[in-house]
Structure 1
């Protein structure tokens, strides 16, 4: 649900980065076609993540040579079951690209304007401690230039959802509650004055989708994206705490103490993330989605141009930018990759591809306290 800026600008898990534990099993790699020696560095990078403490990693890459699958570690610490390429996992903030796509589809249909104010669609919702929805546009929600406070930074929310996870893992949160938490704080800056990642922006975007369509944002994602693209492993679970099969377990230390015990956090009510990060998918579906998006199958040319027009996220890293629910990241070898990352309890994921969609990667760590996802990205696109 949150973002890490700086060197990688990749989406990270909401838990703080803490210590490591070694749960290493023999790694595996397979593929459908030849040329997989090119992914040797990627396999080594996911094995390194397991040595660093991640229980298990699954990665899938696609290029002109075909599809490569790599795994390392385990999906289940109790049984030792290895991770499978078809495992489903919680994708966290990758949800944001799906939500932004629906908003831009609604713009293409003439049902809203990307520069409409939030107040126009959600009157009185963004008010309090300096927040003013009359000055914030939908575009500013989608590219994180609104200045709206990030509700996941609220100390009370963190105490309950992170520190008190075991007692509150099945609690249901409403979008109004989540936005209300943000309104109890001052905004980070005046609308449009800077950039700061805020999950509140996409809670509001989901609420706008529901106001415009009269249907849940999840049903709109299913109707407009999942069914047309046959993304059968992808779902919007709502308040359902269970994971669909096949899937492994998800693990967290729920603490900044490197010696803290590891907890199985697989089951959770994802309404605490809602439109900012509740979705479930697998590596194949994520790549299919981003490929269709960047090829123009989901958006007309004008809306895709708006989505891929980025704002600077770090002045010291001019190659990294954020569009409308979509990130552009520059690798060390000069390649730009597009997509998003996401983190939620026990799960950290990335889905990235070149702009021409000829080379893509999706991966998941089933632990949230260690591992370097960017090292895997670098190995795949620059190795």
Structure 2
């Protein structure tokens, strides 16, 4: 159900008399950040007016706020709009932290591929070899590569974690690593034959990382990526429900007989998402991560190439009719994103209250990281996010 923007204004007026939800102007980029390219480029010109317009007039009936960062030799811009706190009217901070959701999978893929390069994992060895007795005996062989490119057919528990009714009751539940998988069901398809995007493969990847290293997934991500890159706003939070440091709060708009009730959903135990979707980060940190990754400073060239290679299989659609098949779209952690004449590589991610994305051209000449604060969990990509992507790359 959509929530009229005037409802936000009514909420503000009744909660704090001095609060106004008139959208703060988009923050001006720093002087050294110019939309003028610093090197020749064939990309469309970067327009500050279009980018600012993409996040004007927030809050609206889908999001309360947004932050955007564009970097690269083809131009630079950053800005925020809306409010970070409906109670105080505090503006969205440019350096705000947010729950990056499934963008976590890129971090997990990097750690796994580092272990492959080190000889601790073999892409063509079976999960059954590394985790003896964990999978049912009647499962076919699942290779490590099947897990990392979403072609294993493994199933998750299927809880409705983006349904408000479920979330409000279970937001502080703790999930032990591996308990997110449903091993009572047969695989959805023969491993390696189809691709089904989801969290299940990357929960299994987290278990593999822990098994071969003897360390927690959180420790490996921290020691291998977060600390070496000095990602000071990034954490693998374990079971910590809080977002520490500057951040915009997340809300869910709930319609009641008395009107709209605003539920602050910022805090939640992220252990359900774990190695698939639990990391908290910032736009600046994610941009630094993308640059290091694409430049080959995190993963050696043979393994890095796998992150830009989509398997030649169809997407799983639940039927065996090849006439309606769509091609796979995901590689090892990353997604291939066709956008008109451009091909971007990146990842989207969302958690209740947060919808985000990061993407870049392969040469890194234009890179986007954004986060918008949704007020209806589990929905489609908000219009504001679509406008941000369009203004950056079109």
TM over 0.5, yes or no?
yes
Partner of 1:31: 29
Partner of 1:58: 67
Give yes or no for the alignment of 1:326 onto 2:334: yes
> How far apart are residue 47 of structure 1 and its match?
2.8
**1:7-66 CA-partner distances (Å, limit 9, x unpaired):** xxxxxxxxxxx5344245133132123327623222222236743420111111112265
SS at match of 2:245: coil
CA contact (8 A) 1:34 1:65 kept: no
**1:221-248 CA-partner distances (Å, limit 9, x unpaired):** 1111111111111100001111111112
State the alpha-carbon separation in 2 of the partners of residues 275 and 344 from structure 1: 14
State the alpha-carbon separation in 1 of the partners of residues 262 and 82 from structure 2: 15
Give yes or no for the alignment of 1:140 onto 2:138: no
> How far apart are residue 187 of structure 1 and its match?
2.7
CA contact (8 A) 2:252 2:353 kept: yes
State the alpha-carbon separation in 2 of the partners of residues 160 and 71 from structure 1: 26
Decide which moves more: 70-79 or 43-52: 43-52
State the alpha-carbon separation in 1 of the partners of residues 171 and 212 from structure 2: 31
- Note closer, same or farther for the CA distance 1:239–1:161 as it changes in structure 2 (3 Å cut): farther
Give yes or no for the alignment of 1:342 onto 2:349: yes
State the alpha-carbon separation in 2 of the partners of residues 100 and 138 from structure 1: 11
Q: Which runs of 5+ in 2 are unaligned?
A: 9-21, 37-45, 316-323
CA contact (8 A) 1:348 1:368 kept: no
**1:82-116 CA-partner distances (Å, limit 9, x unpaired):** 10110000000000000000000000001111122
Question: Higher relative contact order at CA 8 Å, sep ≥6: structure 1 or structure 2?
Answer: 1
Choose the corresponding residue for 1:69, options 78, 83, 90.
78
State the alpha-carbon separation in 2 of the partners of residues 65 and 192 from structure 1: 38
> How far apart are residue 313 of structure 1 and its match?
6.4
Give yes or no for the alignment of 1:43 onto 2:90: no
- Note closer, same or farther for the CA distance 1:59–1:202 as it changes in structure 2 (3 Å cut): same
Partner of 2:386: 374
State the alpha-carbon separation in 1 of the partners of residues 167 and 302 from structure 2: 43
- Whose radius of gyration is greater, 1 or 2? 2
Aligned residues: 353
State the alpha-carbon separation in 1 of the partners of residues 298 and 47 from structure 2: 31
For residues 144-223 of structure 1, the aligned pairs below 5 Å read: 144-151=150-157, 154=158, 157-158=159-160, 162-179=164-181, 182-223=182-223
State the alpha-carbon separation in 2 of the partners of residues 167 and 142 from structure 1: 32
- Note closer, same or farther for the CA distance 1:21–1:275 as it changes in structure 2 (3 Å cut): farther
Partner of 1:4: none
Partner of 1:19: 2
- Note closer, same or farther for the CA distance 1:354–1:160 as it changes in structure 2 (3 Å cut): closer
